[in-house]
Amino acid sequence: MSVQHPAPIPAQAGIGLRAHHFREILDAPPPVAWMETHPENYFGEGGAPLRILERIRSRYPLSFHGVGLSLGSTDPIDHAHLHKLKGLIDRFEPALVSEHLSWSSVGGRFFNDLLPLPYTTESLDHLCARIDEVQTILKRPLLIENITRYLTWQDSPIPEGSFMAEAVKRTGCGILLDLNNVYVNSVNFHLDPFEFLDVIPPEAVQEIHLAGFDHFGRLLIDTHGQPVYPEVWGLYEWAIRHIGPRPTLIEWDTNMPPLAVLVEQATQADAILGGCHAAAL
């Protein structure tokens, strides 16, 4: 493949690359600035997925958004998984690589879901050691993403924003700020989203995620199956004004719409980013 170095991701909107849209993207590449994908979907040794990713990489800068490292787990890091990720990073040279501030396995059993950590000094020490280990092997900084949670641990004395800020300070990692997750948590647990947003270091935020949620009774569930809600667009406008323009992803994983819907949402994000650029001039 012809890629020689990671193409930087501009502070513009991108979309999630999902198999549902492969054909459409290859036939008529959409006008978006970049694409993000889950690297685990390309862990196979060959076949169509890797060839498709090569074609897409030749046209768009890429971001890798991992879902399988189980960063917060007390099990040892899965080195086979990490080395597959490293191989894929070496091959495709994504501009950004991210994972979640969560755990998903214990005792060798994987739940393949993003489970919340208690925000304690023990968790912080553990997480930072794991981020260090991953960054050392990948030889690059990792972005960590704030997750949606549906429970609160009793003993979790450190506010989430402070927990992430401290992880950034100790490890040099960056932040992937998921504003849909901030909003969903704020509604489900009656929190002020700005208490989180005010505490995270703005310079560490290198990417933003926007997505939609679904209602489950009075609870909001982060399904990535709806357009971005007006309240989340509101948080986004605030974030762009206070943090500055950042690469922004429209994330959609269930109830997949036509590609044009994702592109339209990306255009909406670009308009907000453009407004911020214009205001700065």
Partner 1 sequence: MPRLCDLQQAFAEAIVEGKYQTATAAMATDRIARRSVALYRGLIRNNFVQVLRITYPALHQLVGDSYFGVLARGYIKKYPSTSGDLFLYGRQLPAWLQCIEAPPLLVELARLEWACHEVYQAADSAPLALEQLQAMVSEDPSRVTIQFHQTTRFLSFSLPVHRVWQALQPDALLDEIVDLPLPEQQTGVVVTRREGRIQVTPLNWLDYRLLEALSQGASVASIERFAREAESGFDFTRLMTTLLNLQVIAGISVKEGI
Taking the C-alpha atoms of residue 257 and residue 149, their distance in angstroms, rounded to an integer, is 25
* 31 versus 108: smaller Cβ distance to partner 1: 108
Considering the rule CB under 8 A, would residue 180 count as an interface residue with partner 1?
no
Residue type, 212: G
Taking the C-alpha atoms of residue 157 and residue 155, their distance in angstroms, rounded to an integer, is 6
Rg (CA), the chain: 18
- The site map against partner 1 for 131-150 (x = CB under 8 A) is -------------------x
The stretch among 25-33, 67-75, 199-207, 240-248 that binds partner 1 (CB under 8 A) is: 67-75
Q: How far is the CB of 182 from partner 1 (least distance, A)?
A: 19
Do residues 239 and 177 lie in contact, with contact meaning Cβ atoms separated by under 8 Å? yes
Do residues 191 and 161 lie in contact, with contact meaning Cβ atoms separated by under 8 Å? no
The stretch among 2-10, 63-71, 137-145, 204-212 that binds partner 1 (CB under 8 A) is: 63-71
Per CB under 8 A, the list member of 5, 28, 46, 281 interacting with partner 1 is 46
* 217 versus 230: smaller Cβ distance to partner 1: 217
Q: Which residues pair with 185 in a beta bridge?
A: none
* 117 versus 269: smaller Cβ distance to partner 1: 117
Size of the site for partner 1 (CB under 8 A): 47
Taking the C-alpha atoms of residue 8 and residue 25, their distance in angstroms, rounded to an integer, is 20
Taking the C-alpha atoms of residue 214 and residue 197, their distance in angstroms, rounded to an integer, is 23
Largest CA distance in the chain: 54
Task: Provide the token pair at 248.
Answer: 């922004």
Q: How far is the CB of 197 from partner 1 (least distance, A)?
A: 22
Residues near partner 1 (CB under 8 A): 40-41, 43-49, 51, 67-70, 73-74, 78, 81, 84, 103-113, 115, 117-118, 120, 122-123, 126, 150-156, 216, 219, 221
